[in-house]
């Protein structure tokens, strides 16, 4: 009689071995707001980073594309250009300078490197997740509206590509590969920006991420991408590394990113992770979470209608006047 052997017992694991599509990106704005809040730019919740993403999402829900003149007008409405109080909170120095120029009728791009472009571009990653060519073109156009720096605009394409890949549950090496493929489409479309030499090493920088996929600490991630925390490209690539692993505690990557790059990098990684895991509660409380969930749903599945949604200015004005007495 042959000896009967029992099958080997499986070792218990607490980490996911794979991911499946969860909402095709509809949780991105909730994740973005969670990361923004975790970064602490505004001590009572999310900041101008989330507010800008919301305005851009409204434009895309209604029209399916970006009219840059309408984007400028919508942002100036939030700035209180029509004799109203401004409702942007804890805006970055680069965005503040752009708003000051735009108020004079000259919405000129700034020369400073910035993480703002990548945070804004996360919305485009969801809206154009099925159309890489349009994703690249629209992301670069939006980036150029605010920024002249080549590395800043290129980092926005990286962020949009990472979010688009996450909409289809890509993670790990697949996520990095998706970013690399999208950046190949962007080659040649970034001409005319300040410091174009910064782009020459970008393909090598993305390929160099591969051995480091799986890192979970912010220090390890930024060291793997070059260690320069003033370089938006290195910071966004560090964010991609943090967002790439599938982890049972989805918020850890967001927390690490917020510790590394504040609210803006927290928002970028939050959008990537949120696009992958779908609409869910996050550990950090922030206002208007159901609103953000509905915006994400509409951007992904429609309807292409915003008239029945709250007016962004009214939402933020109420939050500021009601949540922080005397602030206005």
Cα(215)–Cα(196) distance, rounded to whole angstroms? 30
Task: Identify whether the C-beta of residue 232 lies closer than 8 Å to the C-beta of residue 114.
Answer: yes
In a structure prediction context, what are the per-residue pLDDT tens digits for the chain, which is 328 residues long? 444 444 334 333 334 444 678 899 999 999 999 999 999 999 999 999 999 999 999 999 999 999 999 999 999 999 998 778 999 999 999 999 999 999 999 899 999 999 999 999 999 999 999 999 999 999 999 999 999 999 999 999 999 999 999 999 999 999 999 999 999 999 889 999 999 999 999 999 999 999 999 999 999 999 999 999 999 999 999 999 999 999 889 999 999 999 999 999 999 999 999 999 999 999 999 999 999 999 999 999 999 999 999 999 999 999 988 644 433 3
Angle at 265 between CA 260 and CA 270, to 5 degrees: 115
Structure tokens belonging to residue 196: 């174009």
Distance CA 122, CA 272 (A): 8
Residue 8 included in any domain: no
Is residue 83 packed enough to be buried (19+ CB in 10 Å), middle (13-18) or exposed (0-12)? Answer: exposed
Rounded Cα gap, residues 122 and 124, in angstroms: 5
Cα angle 300, 175, 61 (rounded to 5 degrees) comes to: 15
Which domain covers residue 115, as residue numbers?
23-88+99-323
CB 160 within 8 A of CB 115: no
Q: What is the pLDDT of residue 13?
A: 37
> Is 68 domain-assigned?
yes
DSSP state letter for 25: G
Of 36, 213, 62, 195, which Cα lies nearest the Cα of 118?
Answer: 36
pLDDT computed for residue 283 by the predictor: 93
Based on the structure, what is the number of domains in the chain? 1
What is the reported pLDDT for 326?
36
3-state secondary structure of 77: helix
| pLDDT computed for residue 328 by the predictor | 32
pLDDT number for residue 212 = 98
The answer to pTM > 0.85 is yes
CATH value at residue 317: 1.10.4080.10
The DSSP H or E segment spanning 97 is helix 93-103
Residue 89's pLDDT is 97
Q: Domain for residue 72, yes or no? A: yes
Residue 13 within any structural domain of the chain: no
How crowded is residue 184: how many other Cβ atoms within 10 Å of its Cβ?
12
Return the SS3 of 14. Answer: coil
The two tokens of residue 124 are 């485009």
Residue 93: inside a domain: no
Q: Is 127 exposed, middle or buried (0-12, 13-18, 19+ CB in 10 A)?
A: buried
- For residue 18, tell me if it sits in a domain: no
Instruction: Say what the pLDDT of residue 9 is.
Output: 40
Please indicate, yes or no, if residue 295 is contained in any of the structural domains.
yes
Does 139 reside within a domain?
yes
- The contacts of residue 186 (CB under 8 Å, 6+ apart) are 136, 140, 154, 157
């Amino acid at each position: 009689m042959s000896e009967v052997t029992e099958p080997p017992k499986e070792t218990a694991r607490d980490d996911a071995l794979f991911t499946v599509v969860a909402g095709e990106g509809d949780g991105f704005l909730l994740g973005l707001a969670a990361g923004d809040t975790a970064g602490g730019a505004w001590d009572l919740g999310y900041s101008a980073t989330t507010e800008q993403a919301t305005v851009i999402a409204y434009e895309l829900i209604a029209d399916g594309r970006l009219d840059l003149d309408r984007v400028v007008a919508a942002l100036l409405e939030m700035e209180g250009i029509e004799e109203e109080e401004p409702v942007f909170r804890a805006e970055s120095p680069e965005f503040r300078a752009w708003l000051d120029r735009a108020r004079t009728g000259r919405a000129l791009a700034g020369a400073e490197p910035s993480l703002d472009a990548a945070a804004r571009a996360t919305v485009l990653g969801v809206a154009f997740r099925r159309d890489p060519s349009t994703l690249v073109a629209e992301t670069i156009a939006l980036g150029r509206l605010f920024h002249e720096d080549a590395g800043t605009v290129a980092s926005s394409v990286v962020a949009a590509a990472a979010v688009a890949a996450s909409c289809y549950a890509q993670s790990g090496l697949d996520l990095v590969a998706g970013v690399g493929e999208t950046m190949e489409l962007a080659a040649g479309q970034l001409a005319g920006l300040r410091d174009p030499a910064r782009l020459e090493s970008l393909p090598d920088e993305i390929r160099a991420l591969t051995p480091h996929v799986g890192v979970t600490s912010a220090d390890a991630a930024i060291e793997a991408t070059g260690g320069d925390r003033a370089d938006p490209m290195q910071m966004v690539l560090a964010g991609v590394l943090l967002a790439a692993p599938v982890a049972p505690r989805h918020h850890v990557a967001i927390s690490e990113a917020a510790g590394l790059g504040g609210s803006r990098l927290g928002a970028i990684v939050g959008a990537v992770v949120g696009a992958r895991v779908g609409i869910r509660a996050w550990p950090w409380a922030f206002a208007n979470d159901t609103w953000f969930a509905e915006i994400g749903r509409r951007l992904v599945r429609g309807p292409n209608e915003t008239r029945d949604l709250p007016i962004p200015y009214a939402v933020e004005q109420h939050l500021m006047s009601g949540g922080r007495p005397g602030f206005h």
